[in-house]
Amino acid sequence: MRKTSVIIAAALFAFSAPIASFAAMEHDHGSMPMEHGSMKKEHGGGMMSMGKAAHEAVVEGVKASFVVIDNREMMKEMKMKESHHIMVMFTEPKSGKHLSEGEVTVKVLAPDKKEEIKALMEMEEGFGADFTMRKPGKYGVMAKFQLKDGKVRSAKFWYTVK
């Protein structure tokens, strides 16, 4: 019971940690709103640095950077069906200015053609949600996003689970 409590506490801490950008030191974060109360930003750390850079694309003037975090062991111990955390961060390609307001929906298509669709939760510097990707194979990841400018954009890529 004590081990389970420690694991749950560690997981809650990991998921509540602020998200750091890929090039955090190059961006001016002074004008960015804090969405999580008084949590301090951790440049160069956070969940974005925990995962594997999965895809990057510039779509109609917005750079979308996707990261996939393999949480299979931790989620299994917590008796959760999800296994991976998918995150996306948006920036202006030329200035590197962070774009943090909007709505994002992701659909994951499993190798067996089952679909999982979720709205990503807005986090300090990106958007993220947990998905079930337990079986090895190629997963299709399709994102639709609408940022503050009101334009609907989309990006898609394949992610291989080993």
Read off the pTM: 0.70
The answer to whether residue 145 scores a pLDDT higher than 80 is yes
What is the pLDDT of the chain when averaged over all its residues? Answer: 78
pLDDT in tens, 6-54: 343 333 333 333 333 323 323 333 333 333 333 333 334 455 567 779 9
> CA–CA distance from 97 to each of 1, 21, 46, 48, 65 (Å)?
45, 11, 19, 17, 13
Lowest-pLDDT range of 1-5, 54-58, 143-147:
1-5
Amino acid of residue 19:
I
Answer with the residue of higher pLDDT: 136 or 27.
136
Among 2-16, 36-50, 115-129, 141-155, the range of highest mean pLDDT: 141-155
Answer with the residue of higher pLDDT: 125 or 23.
125
Query: So what's the pLDDT on residue 139?
Result: 98
